[in-house]
Structure 1
């Protein structure tokens, strides 16, 4: 058995890092589709921001099937084939999306048709691989390690996005369509190989951690959904994820166009700015993870403190980003975006801790379908948030006839949404974000 294989003692740290490599690979390819191609459509090809936003929203809509994919891996009790198969689909789809983007002005009908197919496959690949990876993490890691393991893998995912954003940004200079195709192909091949190596013999003979394994067969899909929706804690958490992730995702599709239109940045420069944002998220996750562990049991309501701090910090950073929209070149935009990312990271890792605590708490449902439900809620919110942000910018630019004012208006809405999310966190999230020796019960995670 390989060192990272699941055994009676649960998935070891080497195995956890291997799942983190899968998450990093997913993040790298999604970065290409949602940031680089998004910016090219809006700035270089002068398309309405609603077009890439609609495509990204569609890839999130496809992920509504996440519970079904999770249920499939539950029934088969094997996660690795779903992870690797999903990554292969995602890699192919990223290449199709790149080609479609380059064809949108010369052959618009073919380009848009190919883009719809590509983003459909992107959603399917992300859903199948991502849900199965998180389900394996929840089911194969000992209870005492779950929160820490979740933080490690998500930090690795953000690190993958940062590294790929900076690398792709550098490799795209000077920009040309031919260079874009070469870079996209190299990225797709690299992450597919990483995923294949990371999942090789990962599960071993014991796929599920023995203390959380359910001996009875997994329930049918509708019965599993009914069980989850009848649990007050799971239902509240689903709503919290939905609302907070709308606030979290609204700037995703407009940050790089904002850098190009207001600050005059080139594609490589705006991609690197996106890397600074992701770098802030990475540091925020690390700080929140270490802080949550250091103060475990010492302060009341640690999870509330971390989530609320992340939301309020994000609101403040967005408010100053609105000021940057009016100031233009000369504003310390890199620092501003980094602070936004840092606050986003503090919020995200706190929410992840609660999610992992609830993932294995079902009476008969297993981790795949439960992670699928929360993944679907997040996907809906991400798609809706990104679409609202992009459509809002398009409409505001038409009405206000000034790019800076339009972006300031949207950033202000995002800031307000984060304040609302902070209020929801005070009612939804429970007393501790720290790792627990036993899986968190409903009353321990929710007020």
Structure 2
């Protein structure tokens, strides 16, 4: 037996902070392109074109459904031992899908059947691009960062992703004034070109810096896809964490597709104003919440596996509080301090997200046989399903409430109340799913059973 197969090893120094920031630039590019579809195009369909909220929600849910392929794409990058081509290819496909989605949205006012068919294809491309590129980027991060730095690295990359969303939302909002279809196409094309260029530059020779912080051999072949999934599902901690991710991300995503229509219908904001307001206050709150959770979680949690659990729980509860306040805003209208309310909601979302992602990164390298790609793919698929269902439930719930109550404010209030309750449930699930005992048990079990 090779010595490298007999003992734990670290083959390289791995990523420093500059390498982590470069992966963060990839995440920022993904976030910027997705913002165009979930914010701008979603608002145009509901407010300007007077379509049912279920239509854009269904398209977004479709792009999340396509991401069920995340474990398979992650496994492909595991077996290929090269993740950068998957990252760049994913961003190119994502950018192409965003451009086609923009064109399809603008066609809906005149030729809806053809436009909708094009939109279905475009959102499928978006799902493939996000899934392939995002999963490979996270797997590269998990395998190339030392264990004690994984939570902080996750915080940095997600902060940069939200920063990309905020920057692009504000920039796109400004560039869309005054709004016109021609201007929207120009802005979308420019955004696609910039994000692809940033991704190519950020990943240039990046993989050469990656280390291998694993308890198994670098030369050991990745298991086949079914064996990898079976290994993960038999881990009690990984299974509980998957369920927690599913429930919490449903709560997290139910608001995504209705915030801009809410700003337009209840507060009378134009497309550019609603994009800028939601981006500046909600996404800005997420960014600050992530920064505080990243710094505070690292400073006060140390290396304890359960150290991030209070941050997850508090983030969920703060998000529920922000949604409850938005329910009051829905029936009070413009006198309500919308910006402050969106900031509070975003802050809670940011704290929850970084703490949950930090826990995820801690479990990503726990497998003796499964590689980071397929493990991150499983959790990414759970997240994708939850995001699709959450957005669809929020939009369908809004449509149903508007028809039943015949009052936009009351309809939004009902939906926000349901979202708040979902976050409270997620907080309860987080107590067990992110506990240190469960996470340590998973790692001990893996080490004991690997030769069984």
- Are 2:316 and 1:316 aligned? no
Given that residues 430 and 445 in structure 1 are in contact (C-alpha distance below 8 angstroms), is that contact kept between their aligned partners in structure 2? Answer: no
Question: Mapping of 1:388-399 within 5 angstroms?
Answer: 388-399=393-404
Q: 1:205/1:333 Cα in 2 relative to 1: closer, same or farther (>3 Å)?
A: closer
Match of 2:171 in 1: 167
After superposition, the C-alpha distances for 1:363-397 in whole angstroms (9 at most, x for unaligned) are 10100000000000000000000000000000000
- State which of 106, 126, 141 in structure 2 corresponds to 1:122: 126
Given that residues 9 and 209 in structure 1 are in contact (C-alpha distance below 8 angstroms), is that contact kept between their aligned partners in structure 2? Answer: no
Match of 2:36 in 1: 32
User: Which runs of 4 or more aligned residues in structure 1 lie more than 4 Å from their structure 2 counterparts after TM superposition?
Assistant: 209-213, 297-301, 443-446
Match of 1:437 in 2: none
Q: 1:23/1:297 Cα in 2 relative to 1: closer, same or farther (>3 Å)?
A: closer
Given that residues 7 and 204 in structure 1 are in contact (C-alpha distance below 8 angstroms), is that contact kept between their aligned partners in structure 2? Answer: no
Please give the secondary structure, in 2, of the residue aligned with 1:319. Answer: helix
Q: 1:428/1:300 Cα in 2 relative to 1: closer, same or farther (>3 Å)?
A: closer
Please give the secondary structure, in 2, of the residue aligned with 1:78. Answer: coil
- State which of 251, 256, 259 in structure 2 corresponds to 1:255: 259
Match of 1:94 in 2: 98
- State which of 276, 285, 288 in structure 2 corresponds to 1:283: 288
Given that residues 69 and 372 in structure 1 are in contact (C-alpha distance below 8 angstroms), is that contact kept between their aligned partners in structure 2? Answer: yes
Shift in Å, 1:445 = 12
Match of 2:379 in 1: 374
Q: 1:18/1:300 Cα in 2 relative to 1: closer, same or farther (>3 Å)?
A: closer
Q: 1:206/1:419 Cα in 2 relative to 1: closer, same or farther (>3 Å)?
A: closer
Match of 2:405 in 1: 400
- State which of 386, 389, 400 in structure 1 corresponds to 2:391: 386
Q: CA RMSD in A?
A: 1.9
Structure 2: distance between partners of 1:323 and 1:215: 58
Shift in Å, 1:206 = 5.9
Match of 2:142 in 1: 138
Shift in Å, 1:215 = 2.5
- Are 2:434 and 1:411 aligned? no
Q: 1:78/1:208 Cα in 2 relative to 1: closer, same or farther (>3 Å)?
A: farther
Shift in Å, 1:213 = 4.9
Given that residues 151 and 298 in structure 2 are in contact (C-alpha distance below 8 angstroms), is that contact kept between their aligned partners in structure 1? Answer: no
Structure 2: distance between partners of 1:289 and 1:68: 30
Given that residues 21 and 157 in structure 1 are in contact (C-alpha distance below 8 angstroms), is that contact kept between their aligned partners in structure 2? Answer: yes
Given that residues 229 and 235 in structure 1 are in contact (C-alpha distance below 8 angstroms), is that contact kept between their aligned partners in structure 2? Answer: yes
Count of matched residue positions in the alignment of Structure 1 and Structure 2: 434
Q: 1:95/1:135 Cα in 2 relative to 1: closer, same or farther (>3 Å)?
A: same
Q: 1:213/1:192 Cα in 2 relative to 1: closer, same or farther (>3 Å)?
A: farther
Structure 2: distance between partners of 1:322 and 1:213: 53
Shift in Å, 1:272 = 1.1
Shift in Å, 1:146 = 1.0
Given that residues 15 and 210 in structure 2 are in contact (C-alpha distance below 8 angstroms), is that contact kept between their aligned partners in structure 1? Answer: no
Please give the secondary structure, in 2, of the residue aligned with 1:295. Answer: helix
- Are 2:58 and 1:54 aligned? yes
Q: 1:206/1:248 Cα in 2 relative to 1: closer, same or farther (>3 Å)?
A: closer
Question: Mapping of 1:157-196 within 5 angstroms?
Answer: 157-196=161-200
After superposition, the C-alpha distances for 1:128-177 in whole angstroms (9 at most, x for unaligned) are 00000000000011112111111100100000000000000010011000
Q: 1:36/1:7 Cα in 2 relative to 1: closer, same or farther (>3 Å)?
A: farther
- Are 2:19 and 1:15 aligned? yes
Gaps of 5+ in 1: 1-5, 433-439
- Are 2:214 and 1:215 aligned? no
Q: 1:145/1:211 Cα in 2 relative to 1: closer, same or farther (>3 Å)?
A: farther
Match of 2:338 in 1: 333
Q: 1:208/1:79 Cα in 2 relative to 1: closer, same or farther (>3 Å)?
A: farther
Q: 1:55/1:213 Cα in 2 relative to 1: closer, same or farther (>3 Å)?
A: farther
Match of 1:344 in 2: 349
Structure 2: distance between partners of 1:187 and 1:181: 10
Structure 2: distance between partners of 1:337 and 1:254: 13
Match of 1:231 in 2: 235
Structure 2: distance between partners of 1:442 and 1:55: 40
Given that residues 20 and 156 in structure 1 are in contact (C-alpha distance below 8 angstroms), is that contact kept between their aligned partners in structure 2? Answer: yes
TM-score using structure 1 length: 0.94
Structure 1: distance between partners of 2:425 and 2:210: 44
Question: Mapping of 1:53-92 within 5 angstroms?
Answer: 53-92=57-96
Match of 1:424 in 2: 429
After superposition, the C-alpha distances for 1:85-143 in whole angstroms (9 at most, x for unaligned) are 00000011100000000001211111001000000000000000000000000001111
Gaps of 5+ in 2: 1-9, 446-452
Shift in Å, 1:441 = 3.2
